[in-house]
Structure 1
Amino acid sequence: MNEPVTTTTIDPAEFRKVLGSYPTGVCVITALDDDDRPAGMVVGSFTSVSLDPPLVGFFPDRKSTSWPQIEKAGHFCVNVMASDQTDVCRAVTAKGDQKFVGVDYVVSDHNLPIIRDSIAAIECRLYSVTEAGDHWFVLGEVLRMETVREDDPMLFHKGRYGGFAERM
């Protein structure tokens, strides 16, 4: 007979430390706000979800000031960052009017900012948003996608940006 599951208290600092041991890819989620200015956020939680229909997902913090702008747009682009795009990530994490200063992008046919020289761009329609603790679980239905260039991805590990190193 199985023991009943009990709730345990997990220290948030320890949770972050342990899960920070797992490296993640880095993406910039973009959209245009009501004034056609780029809105964006850096995420390390991007994942493929379904082939039929084609769905992808990510987890923005519920305290994010950028997520409401992207959600209101109703669609977004997932820009997969290359290992040489740390400057782009730092720009997008800036506050207020400093976001996107020096970030080169084009606006797609779906009216979405695509960051130049990203590894891939995945344009999506907002499919659903579900509460997930202190984050949202966002699903997007893929409308268009492309590989922009072949290069090493940016990775985030233990609070630092880096790249991939092949081991033989």
Structure 2
Amino acid sequence: MPTPASTTLEKPVDPLAFRHVLGHFCSGVTIITGVEDGPPGPAPAGFTCQSFASLSLDPPLVTFSVAKTSRTWPRIAPTGGFCVNLLAVEQEDLCRSFAVSGADKFAGVEWSPAPVTGSPVLAGSLGWIDCTVEAVHPGGDHWLVLGRVLGLDTVPAVTEAEPLLYYRSAFRRPAA
């Protein structure tokens, strides 16, 4: 039986197979938000992100990846701060709207500023994590962003809700 290393050397990994296999890994869904500096003034910006994870307790760091083709991340990155909004299953429509390019994603969306960065904390989220950008590294067709956690909390009125999950190319709710 070939080892994974010898299989990798024999031929490149098929992108469809890569997507299929990794689609069997369940991930939580977040919306990364920030406040874009620019004319006519500060404006909220955000995008849906399922590639988020905690990284370190000491110092407190989180990480996410964003496509290099993203139109939203270049609007947030220069500010040096962002907020991770942990989505509840009831926020699937919001999640879908933040995944679309070009739309006014914040139209009709209730939010409040995170305490340190001022990045949007979206109403109805399970929790939020207010961060500064610690580092950004290239990773293939994505950027790997490391964030230093400056503040975080759960939302008491929402914490009993179920998280929004992504599994096998579809949004899911946890099985009871």
TM-score (norm 2): 0.87
Number of aligned pairs? 165
What is the percent sequence identity of the aligned residues? 39
Q: 1:147 aligns with which of 154, 165, 175?
A: 154
Deviation at 1:138, TM superposition (A): 0.5
Task: Name the Cα RMSD after superposition.
Answer: 1.7
1:28 alignment partner in structure 2: 31
Deviation at 1:158, TM superposition (A): 1.6
Deviation at 1:144, TM superposition (A): 0.2
C-alpha separation between the residues in 1 aligned to 2:10 and 2:66? 25
C-alpha separation between the residues in 1 aligned to 2:84 and 2:33? 7
Q: 2:127 aligns with which of 108, 120, 124?
A: 120
C-alpha separation between the residues in 1 aligned to 2:50 and 2:136? 17
| 8 A Cα contact 1:91 1:102, kept in partner | no
Q: 2:166 aligns with which of 143, 156, 166?
A: 156
Structure 1 counterpart SS, 2:67: coil
Structure 2 counterpart SS, 1:85: helix
TM-score (norm 1): 0.91
Residue 84, structure 1, aligned to residue 90, structure 2: yes
Tell me the amino acid that sits aligned with residue 69 of structure 1.
Answer: R
Unpaired stretches in structure 2, ≥5 consecutive residues:
none
Unpaired stretches in structure 1, ≥5 consecutive residues:
none
| 8 A Cα contact 2:83 2:114, kept in partner | no
Tell me the amino acid that sits aligned with residue 45 of structure 1.
Answer: S
Structure 2 counterpart SS, 1:103: coil
Structure 2 counterpart SS, 1:98: coil
Residue 50, structure 1, aligned to residue 56, structure 2: yes
Deviation at 1:98, TM superposition (A): 2.4
Tell me the amino acid that sits aligned with residue 86 of structure 1.
Answer: E
Mapping for residues 38-77 of structure 1, pairs under 5 Å: 38-77=44-83
Structure 2 counterpart SS, 1:79: strand
| 8 A Cα contact 1:91 1:100, kept in partner | no
| 8 A Cα contact 2:71 2:101, kept in partner | no
Deviation at 1:17, TM superposition (A): 1.1
